[in-house]
Amino acid sequence: MQGHHAKLHGGRMSNTVREARARDGIDLAPHFNYDGSIKYRIAIFSFNRQERFMAAHSHRFVEEFDGFVGYGLNRESDLDTVIYYLQKFSDDQLMELLRKRLTDGECQAIFDLLSGLLRKHLSEPEYHRYFLKYHH
């Protein structure tokens, strides 16, 4: 199944894909085409490969930052605050709590915002290197 693509309509996962993912432990990685469409690469990860993949992510900013956290003062502090909030938001314990409470619409809105920003601001090689952490 590795290397196959599942086309999702309107950015939403079909029930068939969602059920297969839940049943078989399949992970879906979005692939953004420059025509605006999104395809999902279906990949099966072993636990060891997934652990190595996850170890590549870092959130040091939130641990080391000691400046002003608040929005609206100036661009530099606004950007610091956005980075701070995003890293706090992605904390595993917080995500475990929120995943039980977020509505389908809220999940879709978060996904649409993040994937849209990635598509707008990253080239395809940057997306693979910095977001997916695939180093070819």
Write a three-state SS string for 70-110: CCCCCHHHHHHHHHHHHHHHCCHHHHHHHHCCCCHHHHHHH
- Reported as a single tens digit per residue, the pLDDT across 73-116 is 999 999 999 999 999 999 999 999 999 999 999 999 999 999 99
Q: What is the pLDDT of residue 56?
A: 73
- Candidates 6, 13, 23; CA nearest to 104 is 13
- The whole-number pLDDT of residue 8 equals 41
State the Cα–Cα distance between residues 84 and 7, nearest whole angstrom.
34
**87 closest CA partner among 74, 73, 69:** 69
53-76 pLDDT, tens digit each:
445 777 789 889 999 999 999 999
Q: Which pTM was predicted?
A: 0.58
